Chains A and B, each alone.
Chain A
Amino acid sequence: MTSPHLHDTAGLPDYRAQAPAVAERFRRLRERPVVLEVDRLGREFSGEHGMVTALREVSFSVHRREFVCVIGPSGCGKSTLIRMVAGLDHPTSGRMLLDGREVAGPGPDRGMVFQGYTLFPWLTVTQNVMFGLEMQRVDRGTAEARAREWIDLVGLGKFAKHYPAQLSGGMKQRTAIARALAANPRILLMDEPFGALDAQTRAQMQTHLMEIWRNVDVTILFITHDLDEAILLADRILVLKANPGEVQELIEVPVPRPRSLAQVTSPEFLATRRRLDELIHPPAAAHEGEPEKLPIVRLTQVGDDVE
């Protein structure tokens, strides 16, 4: 990651300034129907010292085939938010609407890809992908054929008969994506799906996900703590702040599409990046430069220096 002050020097544009094509795209995007509406969602946990508010009054909406990223400091409630949307956790206040209908509890209309893969280890790649279809009572033959298509789409055709234990992390996550998409969800929820992957595989997966999203009718809500990843993937970025978790800003990413890794150095990208840095890292620390020194005492002999 580059440090925030590098961007300060260059005369970067305002992150809100949009090229005409980008502005036009956002206008059309806003005209699309709302798939997911999160309405003043809140979540409190009972902790040791009374109730802890993990999320407070979080509201936003996601349009059809939009790609929304959620970022925020660790512990700000990103996972809590997406788990509530998935129906795996109950909000203590507020509500969620999917296609205008209020939803509670998990369902196949909201697919999820977890950071920890969560593939069924006793099923092959094909069987994993078929799982959702079988739950929807699609007959075996059709399910298998459809699963095949999804597996080919994520480029795992050769591994269709492998078990998850025989796959690399990236392949596992592609299987998980295929499995979630095969169930034909209205929205795909992804909680730091590439967090456990190495940098190279992660970049591949990002490109791959963009490709899938372009070709498939699916809306994506994507959690990450990687700011560059958020800018690269998202139409809009929902920035949360911690204690309690609240919406800080909903940023429209001005980087034009189609996106590629080459855009990381474009002015729009850098401007957005600077804004995110401002929001995520507390201003005080950002201006002081050097992070606070750790109170470490010298434990080596004098003269035994490494730098």
Chain B
Amino acid sequence: MPRTRWFAVRQELSIRQRRLFGLMAILLPLAAWSLVSYVPFVWHPMIEVTEPGDVTWLKSGQLVPRADFEREVARLGQAGGRVPEGERANPIYLPAPHRVAVALYTAFTTEPKLRGDLWLHESLAMSIKTIFFGFIISSAVGVPLGILCGAFASIARMTEPVVDFIRYMPAPAFGALMVAILGIHLEPKIAIIVIGTFFQQVLVVANTVRKTELSLLEAAQTLGARRKHLVLRVLVPASLPDLYNDMRILLGWAWTYLIVAEVVGVSSGITFFINQQAKYRNFENVYAAIVIIGIIGLVTDQVLAFIGERAFPWRNHRPSRLRTILGRLFAGREVTLFD
């Protein structure tokens, strides 16, 4: 029986190890967070007042720095009044895990405080819409242009220096300009996503297309393929799986532009929700919203990865967890990759 190796260089993990490490990835940060939240002597720099005593400026439920609180306790101890009482607590910006967990649910069920404010799901829908249109518009131009750049050195030479130049300009810098041109609603936000994604996209796509093996093009040429077919029947299909993966990564980048895009003009979407909740000091809702963004991103990516493995059957992939789960769901009529 071979010894189980936990840290072998560039070795595949067993299924059991993969599960374990995957679980640890979630549990370790959660454990650290819980430790800081639930074990008072680890950090807890504040005192949550339960009984203000004779201190006039204290109120029940108030958070005060420990030093201040202890000074008041000492003062009243000497003066002989009712000593304030309180419990050690963390600052308001670090809610405990269970409060965020609860907030994950209540954030959806809490009515907005002001008329005109949006429910969480409405904010989310708005954000997703921004990302979706931004990414679609960027891809509609960026992908074909990238392919052309990858295929034709002349087009690359004409395009890429400019693209490279603009790529280094931070997309939010165009915020004011976009508002001036496109108004204050969703359009300038979509434009920021487009600007943030497009220029990277052209370069990434062009590079992926350029990685196509030249020998495939040569083979196609000896079979009679001319320019159009070399691009459409060789370059594009040859790089399709990699392009698909590029799109997944670029979509992730688009999400990172979301928050800055949404403060352009009238603040909107999930960013508006987060800012609003922060203003009301409901930090557990802030965390809940951030976690939800993460979950949406992760789920989208996993779904895309799953589709990707189905869409390119000529690529042998190691079995993915999602596929195993779905495979079990559809047990008996499992789709075979190769027939």
Contacts and interface: CB of A to CB of B under 8 A. Distances in A.
B314 A114 contact: no
A91 interface: no
Contact of A88 (B218, B224, B313, B314): B218
A121 B237 CA distance: 9
A86 interface: yes
B219 interface: yes
Contacts of A123: 237, 314
Contact of B223 (A111, A161, A162): A111
Interface in A103-156: 106-108, 110-112, 114, 116, 118-123, 131-132, 135-136
Contact of B222 (A119, A163, A180): A180
B11 interface: no
Contacts of B218: 86, 88, 106, 112, 114, 118
Contacts of A131: 220, 223, 225, 233
Interface in A36-87: 86-87
B219 A118 contact: yes
Contacts of A122: 237-238, 240, 312, 314
Contacts of B314: 121-123, 163-165
Interface string B220-243: 111111100100011001101000
Given A135-B229, A161-B339, A162-B338, A183 B224 contact: yes
A248 interface: no
Nearest to A111: B222
Contact of B338 (A112, A166, A183): A166
A110 B339 CA distance: 34
A106 B339 CA distance: 35
B154 interface: no
A24 to B, nearest CB: 35
A269 B10 CA distance: 51
Contacts of B238: 120-122
Nearest to B316: A165
Tell me the dominant secondary structure on chain A's binding face.
loop
Given A88-B218, A120-B234, A163-B338, A180 B223 contact: yes
A183 B224 CA distance: 8
Interface in B297-319: 312-316
A183 B215 contact: no
Contacts of B224: 107-108, 132, 135-136, 183
A172 interface: no
B39 interface: no
Contacts of B225: 131, 135
Given A120-B237, A162-B338, A106 B222 contact: yes
B216 interface: yes
A179 interface: yes
A121 B225 CA distance: 17
A118 B221 CA distance: 12
Given A120-B216, A120-B234, A110 B223 contact: no
B113 to A, nearest CB: 55
B237 A87 contact: no
B230 to A, nearest CB: 10
Contacts of A120: 216, 219-220, 234, 237-238
Given A122-B237, A161-B339, A116 B215 contact: yes
Nearest to A179: B223
A112 B219 contact: yes
Contacts of A165: 314-316
A93 to B, nearest CB: 23
Contacts of A136: 224
Contacts of B213: 118
Contacts of B312: 122
14 contacts: A86-B222, A106-B221, A108-B224, A112-B219, A114-B219, A120-B238, A121-B314, A122-B238, A132-B223, A135-B223, A135-B225, A166-B338, A180-B223, A183-B224
